[in-house]
Amino acid sequence: MSKNNNIFDGDSYKAIFARSIYKFILSRKWTTYADIMADVNNLSSARELEYSVSDYDGYGELKKAFGDIRKAIKDTLGGDYIETRGNNRNRSFRYVGENDDPLEEMIKAKAINDLKQYWQFCQDSAGFFPTSWLEHFFSGSRDLLQMKDKKRKGEQVINADQDRQQTNIEFLPSLYEHIIDHNVLSITYQPYDEEAVELVFHPHKLREYNGRWFLFGHAEGKDPENGYNLALDRIIKKPSVIKEKKLIPPPTGFYANFFKDIVGVSHIEGNTVQNIHVRAHEYYIYKLMETKKIHSTQKTVTQFGMHEDGEYGEFVVTVELNNEFVGRILQMGAGLEIVSPTEIRDEFKQRVTKLYQLYSTDNE
């Protein structure tokens, strides 16, 4: 069946409603249009709708989608197996056919189309992913040869500005699989300017920041108990599995909270979340910060324009101070200024002073 004839395909209101309607139909429970509208709007129930279902965008498409689903089931099974009750305002419906998945072939056709789109994405975005991912997951396949050929010819349409050739980048696929398989690892790790250490490591999460990859987890005998951070380029050799150990998982929601209040990957002991006011002195920088926010908490508090003390715009970011935040601000040079709190402004003063001292004397 072609994509144009599949009522489940696409991102139109009608297709979105069709997928929701069919999910409710398979439950065989009495369902209303309000239930469908709530589901599509990510609400837990129709009681959370702010106003009548008929006042929501897409209501007409919802009704059309229901009609199409009903007709498709009728055409497939040779009869109308949708019961309805109530009037137009509070009508509900349910499926009563013997076939538990009457439109299975349509769903399969959509899945195949989705896979084709994903395959095309992999072909076109091979320049975005680290080569080690592709070498591992497409090893020995014709797909990998085609990706390499596209890259050689410069035909990939998705790319990244990082070369992603970081030391130990080839460990990424196996580390991913160790996390999925809940393996405990023996890792030889060498922090900067320190001796190498042997770690019993319970891997939880991989995270990339600014072109560098990090492995987070629980390192036995190390603090913090969870969220211990290993840079891939500091791992000495490929980690091995400790079969007799059972993985210690992080507490529920741990990493969502761990990364919630920071830029990048690091916490600095003793630093707390603060409202940091940042001033943009150039309109270009101001607009850049609007479109490429430093952190999800960033909010504009002063629109860019001429004020009594000069031309600027301001925004506030609610984060902990760490090196990644400092780096994001300083990379904009004189375009950004920390206004408050005082102690954070003083931290930036010290860093800028050191920079000035480096450049204030010519090397001869």
Domain extent listing, the chain? 3-106, 169-251, 274-360
How far is the CA of 286 from the CAs of 89, 303, 337, in angstroms? 50, 9, 11
Q: Are 176 and 232 in contact (CB under 8 A)?
A: no
Q: How confident is the model at residue 89 (pLDDT cuts 50, 70, 90)?
A: low
In this structure, whether the domain defined by 274-360 belongs to CATH 3.30.70 is answered with yes
Q: Are 264 and 209 in contact (CB under 8 A)?
A: yes
Comparing 363 with 19, the larger pLDDT belongs to: 19
**Per-residue pLDDT tens over the stretch 212-265:** 889 999 999 988 888 899 999 999 999 999 999 999 999 999 999 999 999 999
How much is the pLDDT for 120? 64
In 210-357, where do the E strands start and end?
Answer: 212-219, 228-231, 240-241, 274-280, 299-307, 310-319, 336-340
Q: How confident is the model at residue 132 (pLDDT cuts 50, 70, 90)?
A: low
Give me 213's structure tokens: 């990859």
Buried b (16+ CB within 10 A) or exposed e, 134-153: bebebeeeeebeebeebeee
**Per-residue pLDDT tens over the stretch 298-316:** 999 999 999 998 999 999 9
The pair phi, psi for residue 228, each rounded to 5°, is -65, 140
Q: Are 300 and 278 in contact (CB under 8 A)?
A: no
CATH architecture type of domain 3-106: Orthogonal Bundle (1.10)
**Per-residue pLDDT tens over the stretch 30-44:** 999 999 999 998 888
Q: Are 346 and 290 in contact (CB under 8 A)?
A: no
Buried b (16+ CB within 10 A) or exposed e, 315-348: bbbebbbbebbbebbeebeebbbbeeeeebeeeb
CATH no. for 169-251 = 2.30.30
| Coil, strand or helix at 159 | strand
Residues 118-126, mean pLDDT to the nearest whole number: 61
Residues 65-93, mean pLDDT to the nearest whole number: 88
Bridge partner residues of 275 (DSSP)? 318
Long-range own/partner contacts, residues 74-78 (CB < 8 A, 24 or more apart): 76/102, 76/103, 77/102
The rounded mean pLDDT for the chain is 86
Q: How confident is the model at residue 171 (pLDDT cuts 50, 70, 90)?
A: confident
Q: Which of 179, 177, 201, 178 is nearest to 189 (CA)?
A: 201
Q: Which of 106, 116, 118 is nearest to 4 (CA)?
A: 106
Position 246, amino acid: K
Residues 61-77, mean pLDDT to the nearest whole number: 92
* pTM to 2 decimal places: 0.62
What DSSP character marks residue 232? G
